[in-house]
Amino acid sequence: MDSLKALEEYLKSKDNAENFFSSSEIPPICKSEACMLGVDEAGRGPVLGPMVYGVAYCPLSQKKILESLGCADSKALTEDKRDEIFTKMLIEQESIDNVGWKGEVISPKYISNSMYRRAKHSLNEVSMNSAISLIQMVLDGGVNLAEIYVDTVGPPEKYQAKLSEIFPNIKITVAKKADSIYPIVSAASIVAKVTRDHALKVWNFKEGLDMDHSQFGSGYPGDPLTKKFIREQIDHVFGYPLLVRFSWSTAELMLQEKAATCTFEDIDESPNKKAAGTKSISTFFSPKDKTSRKRHKFFQERCLKMTNAFE
């Protein structure tokens, strides 16, 4: 992958209803020298589009490369500036030789289905699982990780303890606003944000809608274009296209107002609940003659009785 155009072509080739990964080649130096890795996400709050988790890694001895790239608080960078930095990561030889990255694009469908499962899978759990899997993939690729820096999800202390338990031989630091503190986390944040931005730009509506990203906005609930999309692009029977996280309250309320009411029959029954007149399978193996038999004299004389060895 050597340009933003190549990134877009890759994103277009993927099924946007499913999760998938994108990544750089692993720089050989990252397998021999001790490295640091940063973790951050983009698109946690929007009602439209995927959430993307990103990691970036480089040797501890090459921190200056991150500074020369311009990795800083990604939220303070414009979209054009983030694109520029990511392009440098793709094409500048010094960056290619020292900085690796990987991202997971988590589909709106997966997010909503996770939150609606009977055993609910919260957004925090989805986020943590993605971060953990990305770190593990980097380790499995042979990268010599010595330090990991993570922008927190929930209380940083609990998250750090969980990661330290999973990766006991690596120094773990979890902090709030980590992308404004650690350049390696900023690099990961840029990977995530650029990937999400371009995933929205090339979004292919399987439902046949003929529109581009300029017509549905950033995806955040406060964006006027996003509000307009949520109000207007709702089918009375089928609800929203796959771009929408239908578990978000913004979408739920509109579905309740404009979509057909659905009633789902609860067909699950308690495993211990029997329909009237239904016999237990064990009754077919029980003696039909309920009269008690006289115990043998041998057992009576010795005061022996039947018992259960496992009680």
Q: What is the CATH number of domain 213-258?
A: 1.10.10.460
Phi, psi (degrees; rounded to nearest 5) at 265: -75, 130
Q: What is the pLDDT of residue 311?
A: 47
Q: Where exactly does CATH 3.30.420.10 map onto the chain?
A: 4-201
Which range among 17-26, 98-107, 174-183, 289-298 shows the weakest confidence by mean pLDDT?
289-298
CA dist 40 and 183 (Å) reads: 11
Q: Binding residue per annotation — 9?
A: no
Q: Is the pLDDT of residue 143 over 90?
A: yes
- Using pLDDT thresholds of 50, 70 and 90, give the confidence band for residue 285: low
Contact 242, 113 (CB under 8 A): no
Q: Is the pLDDT of residue 231 over 50?
A: yes
CA dist 133 and 125 (Å) reads: 12
What residues are paired with 101 via a beta bridge?
A: 56
CA dist 226 and 218 (Å) reads: 7
Q: Which pLDDT tens digit goes with each residue over 297-311?
A: 666 665 666 666 554
* CA dist 284 → 73, 93, 279, 288 (Å): 71, 77, 8, 9
Contact 43, 51 (CB under 8 A): yes
Q: Where exactly does CATH 1.10.10.460 map onto the chain?
A: 213-258
Q: Is the pLDDT of residue 253 over 70?
A: yes
Q: What is the CATH number of domain 4-201?
A: 3.30.420.10
Q: Binding residue per annotation — 97?
A: no
Quote the mean pLDDT of the chain.
86
* CA dist 286 → 112, 273, 281, 283, 305 (Å): 50, 21, 10, 5, 20
Q: What is the pLDDT of residue 235?
A: 85
Q: Binding residue per annotation — 8?
A: no
